[in-house]
Every structure is written in C-alpha cells, then in structure tokens.
Amino acid sequence: MADGPTLLMRNTANASSPDRFMADAGALVSNLREQAASGGSLRKVAAGNTSSVGNQTIFSLVQCTPDLSPESCSACLMVAVDVRSTCASGIGCRLLRPNCNMRYEVQSFYNETRLQEIQTLTSSGPPPPSSPGSKGNNKTRTIIIIVVSVVVCLIIPVFGGILLIRRRKKKQWKTLESTPHEMNLAETLQYDFREIKAATSDFSNANILGQGGFGTVYKGELSDGQEIAVKRLSVDSGQGDMEFKNEVLLVAKLQHRNLVRLLGFSMEGKERLLVYEFIQNTSLDRFIFDRDKHNYLDWDSRYKIIGGIARGLLYLHEESRLKIIHRDLKASNILLDGEMNPKIADFGMARLCIADETQGNTNRIVGTYGYMSPEYAMHGQFSVKSDAFSFGVLVLEIITGQRNSSFRNGENIEDLLSMAWKYWRQGTIENIIDPVLRASSGSLRDMLRCIHIGLLCVQDNLTDRPTMASVVLMLSSFTISLPVPSEPIFFTSGGYSLKRAISKTYSSKEFESTISSSRDKSDRSSLSSKNDMTFTEFHPR
C-alpha cells in the first residue's frame, strides 16, 4: 500500500458550531471506514449521512481499492478519521490517497443508485456447488469488472473536478505574479464564485450594506447559515489586482479582536470579491456623524472604541509577526460589532514593512484628505507615525461628534484640528466636546485626557508623536503625565493649510485635478466621510 502522495482539499467556510459539527463528521467517517474495510474483496466503499447542528445533514463517502486487505484499508483511511485536524473545521473536505479516498460535504455528492448496485452485486451468495467451475469464474469476473467500473466512475469525476478547480485557481492567482507559497495560501481561501453569488442573491440591491470608493459591500448568507459581508470591487474603482492581492495576503495572516476577519476571496473573469465576517453595526461614521444615532454612543462606548482602535493599530505595528502600516485609517473604515467593539477594516492600501523597517517612501500617495500626515501628503513618507496621525484625527472626531473638515462653530464651519488647537491654547478645550457627552455622567477628566492624546498624535514633527504602544499605555494609566503638544503644521497662525502645503510640492494643476477626480469617487460613496478624497499617483517635481 502506497503512503503518498496525499491530495487534500478543504472548504474554508466554517460551521456555526465547529466543535459539534466536526464531532458529527468524525463519527460518520469513522463508521463508514469500518464498513468499507469489512466490505470484502469486491466492495470496499461505503457512503452515508448524519444530522448535525443547525438542521444540516453531513454526507460522506469513503473508499479503498479492492486489492487492499481489511487492515490495510482501515490503516489507509485512518488519517481521514481525525477530521478535526485534517479538515480544520471546514464544512467540506476531500482526501485523496493512492489506495483510498474520503469526502464529506453538507450536500449530497454521490450517486446512490450506483452504490446500491454494488450492494446488490456483492451481497449475492457464492454460486451453487453444482455449477461448473468455468461458469462460476466468469460470474466472479463479471462482478469484479462491474465493481471496478463503478468505483472508477465514482473516483474520476471527483479527482478530475478537484484537479480542474486547483488548476483554475492557480491560473487565476498566477496572473497576479504570486510566489508558490502565496498561491498555496490563496487556494485555501478561495470561494467558488457561484457560491458567493448565491449567498448574496445574485448581488441583490436589497443586500447592499454600503458603497465605497472601491466598490459595493453586500450582506450574504452561506449554505451553512453563516452571515458574511462581500466586498465586490468595481472595475473602474482604482483598486487594481495588486491592491486586491495585497488585501488578501495581508489580512489572511492577521488575527486580532479589533481587526475585521477575512474569510476568503473569489475571482471570476474581471470579478474580484473579498469575503469578510459580517459585522452587525456597520461603520463608525454612521454613528458619530448621524444626528440621531450619535446619541446612542455614550462616553463608555466611545472610550471603548478609542481603546480598541489603539490596540488594533498596536497589533499591526508591533505585536503581529508582520509589521503593517494601514495608511487609510478613518471613521468609515472602523466597523462596530453587536457589542460596539471596533474592528479596523479595508487593508487595500496597507503596506508591509520588512524586518525592523519602520517607514517607507512612495510616489503613489493614497489616503483620505484630513487624515493624512503632512510628511505623507507632501513627500510620500509613511510610517507607524503617519498611522498615529490618522488615529489622532479620529479620536478628536469621536469626542466632538463632528467631521475633521467641517467643525461647526456657531454659524461658521471650520476645520476640526485648528479649532481644537485654538480652544486648547485658550484653556477652553471642553467646548469642543460633543454636547451629548457634556450632558452625560461621563468623566470629563477622561474626555480631556483623550483630547490631549489626540493632539499629541497630530503634531507636525513625527518624532514628537507617540507610538501606539505609548498611546495604549496613556489610555490605560492615568498616573502617566502627558507632554504638552505642539501646534499642527497644517493650522499655524498664518493659515498654513493642507492644500497650500501640498501645492508647494506639486503643481496646482496636478493637485486640483487629483482632488476633483477623487471627489467624484467620494460623492458616490455612502459609507465614506464627506471629505473622503483619495490621492493617487502624485509625481513630485
């Protein structure tokens, strides 16, 4: 009996109750293994089904080549019995070895009629003693031919289908210039396009959760009842294949309670889909900037959101085995679950730093106006400190309940950072706090401390900005004294605005055309903030 090679295919979708599901699947496969091993020299195949959690039915088929002894068949299928470690909680799994195979799914996949034919043929008793020897041999030979033919008919479509799917997935992913390791990772994450199409009711408008600059997000439900969020990238979105690949490979390796979990992706022709866990309460901007919903966010909720975002960024910057700079942190990219825990989303523009690298440089500046640090907006220099700048802006938005570019001061509309700095210098910083919070029982001391931390994060000199490790410590320990913040570069006494700063480095034509083009994209977005203007492809002189 040959031990290898072994071909393993898993459905990456997980059951709603993995422990119960895998216990049921393991018991079914173990029972079928015993049946197949004891099937005699003419029949070493068994199939059956069992009920599991969530009204699901698990179907399974195991099979050995007829030449194996009962012991060898049982040994060959032994690896299949431990489905929990072999199949990693997937709702479907296929294991192919030279002398045996196993498969289970949540829908029927085998031909019951052919299996019954095998049962009938092999359950017949031996020929009568009076029958001539040659006639008995002919009958035995006929049975063997029929059994082998049926077995081959069962194996070939399964094996051929698996090879076809693997080849198509590799070909699709190979077009994105991936390494062999990346292609193997992609195979474990790739969903069948038809499955996602069915889960979203053919991308029905009724299932739209929101629309952003890169495409539309749909709610879906897989066959096992699991709810998902599907990001369908538009062809003209500006997020190309490399950004798509970047998001898949980066997020797939990240696991943190304050990051949105990527379940997988799908590719079909020009279609590009990202499949995420479904987050119940959509994005943060839908709450803090909404006249009615922002009343639901008391100080405890907002403080928890600020702390969760800080811990998520700390994980990206220092605690994960990768060092990642997000580059597009903003209110619309923070999702809230049922308990209002924040989860950082949208890693299409994230950058991976190598080894001890803490910063990078690019001519392709991407991000959102008002959240970008000055060194990044003007020179393309990004680092963990540029993420800290975006975090500082976000903190001020959460506490004031107003957008960074449209702070309402009486009848006037001003920018949030300049108003925060103005009130800070005057010693009246509590005036920018959301009236809902000021009227609540929340700790004014905690609110003022968070504003102080936000101002430290938006300082001009990036070396003066705290790391996210320092921010998390500042938020959790009130015994640590905070340094005095310096004035943000964009809002000096001379009115040095972001637009004027960038126009010193780039021609006004380049700058205005980029803003205009990005505004057109932003106007189509109901998920993004009103000032979501994405800068792309700047070319410094």
Give the separation between CA 518 and CA 525, rounded to whole angstroms: 11
Same domain, 489 and 380: yes
Same domain, 266 and 396: no
List CB contacts of 453: < 8 A, sequence separation 6 or more: 392, 395, 466, 471, 474, 475, 482
Same domain, 45 and 138: yes
185 C-beta neighbours (distance < 10 Å), count = 17
CATH number at residue 241: 3.30.200.20
Point out the domain boundary residue: 251, 277, 303.
277
Query: pTM of the predicted model, to two decimals?
Result: 0.60
Of the candidates 210, 350, 335, 220, the one whose C-alpha atom is nearest the C-alpha of residue 279 is: 335
Same domain, 290 and 266: no
* The pLDDT of residue 234 is above 80: no
Residue 540 placed within a domain: no
DSSP-assigned beta bridge partners for residue 59: 49, 105
Give the separation between CA 267 and CA 250, rounded to whole angstroms: 17
Q: Which of 190-204, 253-267, 401-415 has the lowest mean pLDDT?
A: 401-415
Determine the distance from the C-alpha atom of residue 205 to the mean position of all C-alpha atoms in its chain, rounded to a whole number. 22
| pLDDT tens for each residue of 338-368 | 999 999 998 877 777 654 445 555 555 566 7
CATH number at residue 146: 3.30.430.20
Residue 300 placed within a domain: yes
Same domain, 147 and 119: yes
Q: 256 and 315 in contact (C-beta within 8 Å)?
A: yes
Residue 530 placed within a domain: no
Residue 209 placed within a domain: yes
User: What pLDDT score was predicted for residue 533?
Assistant: 36
Q: Which residue has the higher pLDDT, 337 or 523?
A: 337
User: What pLDDT score was predicted for residue 39?
Assistant: 81
Same domain, 164 and 230: no
Q: Which of 116-120, 179-183, 324-328, 400-404 has the lowest mean pLDDT?
A: 179-183
Q: Which amino acid is at 202?
A: D
DSSP states along 395-455: HHHHHH-S-TT-EEETTEEE-HHHHHHHHHHHT-GGGGS-HHHHTSSS-HHHHHHHHHHHH
Of the candidates 399, 387, 394, 393, the one whose C-alpha atom is nearest the C-alpha of residue 446 is: 399
Residues in binding site: 231
User: What pLDDT score was predicted for residue 531?
Assistant: 39
Residues in binding site for ATP: 231
Of the candidates 124, 126, 80, 121, the one whose C-alpha atom is nearest the C-alpha of residue 99 is: 80
Mean pLDDT, residues 512-527 taken together: 37
Point out the domain boundary residue: 277, 300, 333.
277
Q: Which residue among the candidates 328, 346, 387, 532 is catalytic per the annotation?
A: 328
* The pLDDT of residue 516 is above 50: no
| pLDDT tens for each residue of 24-75 | 888 899 999 999 888 877 678 899 999 988 778 999 999 998 888 899 898 8
Same domain, 248 and 158: no
Same domain, 222 and 354: no
Same domain, 324 and 433: yes
Mean pLDDT, residues 101-120 taken together: 80
Q: Which residue has the higher pLDDT, 5 or 423?
A: 423
Residue 534 placed within a domain: no
* The pLDDT of residue 193 is above 90: yes
Query: How many domains are there within the chain?
Result: 3
Same domain, 266 and 307: no
Q: Which residue has the higher pLDDT, 292 or 199?
A: 199
Residue 529 placed within a domain: no
User: What pLDDT score was predicted for residue 411?
Assistant: 59
Give the structural domain span for 259.
Answer: 193-277
User: What pLDDT score was predicted for residue 511?
Assistant: 37
Give the separation between CA 56 and CA 91, rounded to whole angstroms: 10
Active site (annotated) includes residue 292: no
Residue 364 placed within a domain: yes
Give the separation between CA 375 and CA 367, rounded to whole angstroms: 13
Same domain, 334 and 246: no
Same domain, 249 and 302: no
User: What pLDDT score was predicted for residue 132?
Assistant: 52
CATH number at residue 427: 1.10.510.10
Instruction: Kindly indicate the confidence band of residue 79, based on its pLDDT and cuts at 50, 70 and 90.
Output: confident
* The pLDDT of residue 428 is above 80: yes
